[in-house]
Chains A and B, each alone.
Chain A
Amino acid sequence: MTADLVLDVQGLAVEYGTDRPARAVDDISFRLHRGEILGVAGESGSGKSTLMTAVSRLDRPPARVVSGSVRYHPRDGAPVDLLSAPPGQLRELRWDRLAVVFQSAMTALNPVMRVGAQFVDVLRTHQRMNRKEAWKRAAELLELVGIPGDRARNYPHEFSGGMRQRAAIALALACDPEIIVMDEPTTAVDVVMQRQILAQLQELQARFGFAIVFITHDLALLVELADRIMIMYSGRVVETGTASALYRAPQHPYTLGLRDSSPTLRGPRREVRAIGGSAPDLWDLPAGCAFHPRCPQRTAGCDTTRPPLLVRDGHGTACLLAQPAAARPATTPNGTEEGA
């Protein structure tokens, strides 16, 4: 599996604004393998969408990628850094290799174009189909997600929210891509529809073998869907690991809080507790670990030392509690500070 790397992101950092920039994505690295589902979870404002637009080169001012690389590894040939690829090459890779599904599928379809036509133009661009073939293919793709093929002639406003969401997913499949980046593709629909869409997504993924970066704030949902999960807080990765390990035994207090704050449909019943406080202002991040003001387990040093992401056996955690004892500043066991 490790040989089949398809996307390799290293040290990616994105800022908003120029005179007093805010770092919405800070030094993020991850690898995506063929056929893998990587989940990205975090509260609202943690930088998930910013990460996704930067990776797919869809960032617009005032967002600015300040460092890092996003390497796409084709099946044959040398890797391509998407961040420095010339526009022509990038255009060829887009949708053919890397497709996206937006957070707001409601507004992602052009309101004045028939839904099918929005499949047809991309099919004609990348697959060199003629008009008739492309319309036929558009109908097939819609049927793949359970929408009758003749609805391709409808306009987006004639679709329900769930249909639009599924159409957006079908659209992403159009050119049989290797990677699909999905930004909360199911937030706008009810839970039943959400389950249905995810089940379809899993079947499609098993059938076509594309890799997915799946962004959501719903950790419980990711656990069922993803192979690996990455937890973001204030633009940084605080924990990463396999879905089961991360959910069963979270190492970072934030992951623990996130897990316990979302109800699950399956698994044992747990008490639902919200994380106290709110996400910090990007322009005014606390010193040390950004989570420490809200952390129930904070110890001395949390407000001064920013813990690096330490990876052991494929599980990474950025928390002083999880660092080897030697690396940790001396504290009393129960976390209270010794009097001066």
Chain B
Amino acid sequence: MGGVTLSPAVPEAAARSRTSRSAVRQIWGSVLLKRIVFYLVAAWAAATLNFLLPRMMPGDPASAILLKMSELGPVTPDRVQLVHRLFGGAASEPLWRQYFSYLGGLLHGDFGLSLAFYPTPVSTVVRSGFLWSVLLLGVSTVIAFVVGTALGALAGRRPGGWLDSVISPLSIFVHALPYFWAALILVYVFAFRLDWFPLSGGAGPDLAPGFDPAFISSAITHAMLPAATIVLTSISGWLIHMRNMMASVVNEDYVLLARAKGLSETRVTTAYAARNAVLPSISSFAVSIGLVVGGSLLTEMVFNYPGLGSLLNQAILNLDYPLMQALFLVISMTVLVANFVMDCLYVLLDPRTREAAS
């Protein structure tokens, strides 16, 4: 029998596959473009909502702000104008004019003056809180994700193995601990009893923020305990998630084939099993990294940490509308940026999404 020859590819086929490859590259480019457009639209929608919300509120936030400002000190005419631009209230200008001057102000980062920290500009207040939050929560969320996912991969590599039977029940136990309780226990033991770490704050109060060793080391010791509570309470979620994915992926044929190929156990586990099992975790990670900024309230209150969560708390207590408006905007923008970055990363990690998205 036979009749099929083993001649290499005919030129036509080669040419066809070359065009299909450049087509793939084009698709990939257009997918990226689509995503950028999508996120720009989402960012615009968030900004617009932020413009509309105070204007739809019952009462007149602008006059309330102006009243409060006048109690704190003299108010210049351009300050009055700025407040109207951000919060409406003065009927002198039509809505669309207000809207465009609001958008123009945003582009320059001009949010007016904070009432709670009068007369510091809102942008300055937010910038400092943002740095604290990103440092503490960003770093500890990344640590929890990386360590949790790695441990989950190890446990799920051999479901029912000894590592799995130690790690998995332990992480389910840790997962069940309420955050508040775990945080208080850590504070009691390590700050109050042992006095290894400071009780609260972002850095020593007598140190000026800056790039000097004394301040940095103080900031790190202050961040230890809050970071530990975040890592401790969120690590098990990542671990369990990854462990379950891994336990099912190791049964896939391509993992079995990798083993049949005689590759090293490390390569089978990482390049074949974990590389596929981690994909769903990456998408949840996008969500949680976006929530870092908004979700820091509890930690920052327990540790009196000067991040965005504390700022939001103070803004609400002081009816500091300008600060609130800026915080909401920053929080929604962080969620969008984090999701955009993760989206792009996901497309790089999972080649199948390049087509699916187009």
Binding site for B on A (CB under 8 A): 56, 58, 60-61, 90-96, 99-100, 102, 104, 107-113, 121-122, 125-126, 143-144, 146-151, 153-155, 157-158, 196, 199-200, 202-204, 207, 224
Contact = CB atoms under 8 A, between A and B. Distances in A.
A54 to B, nearest CB: 13
- 7 A-B pairs with the lowest CB-CB distances in the bound complex, closest first: A94-B262, A148-B9, A155-B351, A143-B8, A110-B254, A199-B4, A91-B262
Given A107-B252, A150-B18, A121 B260 contact: no
Interface stretch (B96-104, B125-133, B226-234, B269-277): B269-277
Contacts of B6: 144, 146, 200, 203-204, 207
Nearest to B255: A110
A35 B100 CA distance: 80
Residue of A90, A157, A207 ringed by the most chain B CB atoms within 10 A: A157
A202 B2 contact: yes
Given A58-B260, A95-B262, A157-B352, A203 B254 contact: no
Interface of B: 1-6, 8-9, 13-14, 17-18, 20-21, 24, 160, 251-254, 256-264, 267, 271-272, 275-276, 279, 349-352, 355
A155 B349 CA distance: 12
A223 B132 CA distance: 74
A196 B253 contact: no
Residue of B8, B254, B262, B351 ringed by the most chain A CB atoms within 10 A: B262
Contacts of A148: 8-9, 13-14, 17
Given A60-B256, A122-B261, A158-B24, 12 more contacts: A94-B261, A100-B260, A108-B254, A110-B258, A111-B351, A121-B263, A125-B264, A199-B3, A200-B4, A200-B6, A203-B2, A203-B4
Nearest to B276: A112
A151 B13 CA distance: 10
B9 A122 contact: no
Contacts of A95: 260-262
Contact of A107 (B18, B253, B264, B279): B253
7 contacts: A56-B260, A61-B160, A107-B252, A108-B253, A125-B262, A149-B8, A151-B17
A122 to B, nearest CB: 5
Nearest to B278: A112
B9 A146 contact: yes
Given A148-B9, A203-B6, A121 B251 contact: no
Contact of A109 (B13, B254, B260): B254
B260 A99 contact: yes
B9 A149 contact: yes
Residue of A56, A96, A107, A146 ringed by the most chain B CB atoms within 10 A: A146
Given A107-B253, A157-B351, A113 B271 contact: yes
A58 B256 contact: yes
Given A110-B272, A110-B276, A111-B276, A96 B349 contact: no
A124 to B, nearest CB: 10
A94 B254 CA distance: 15
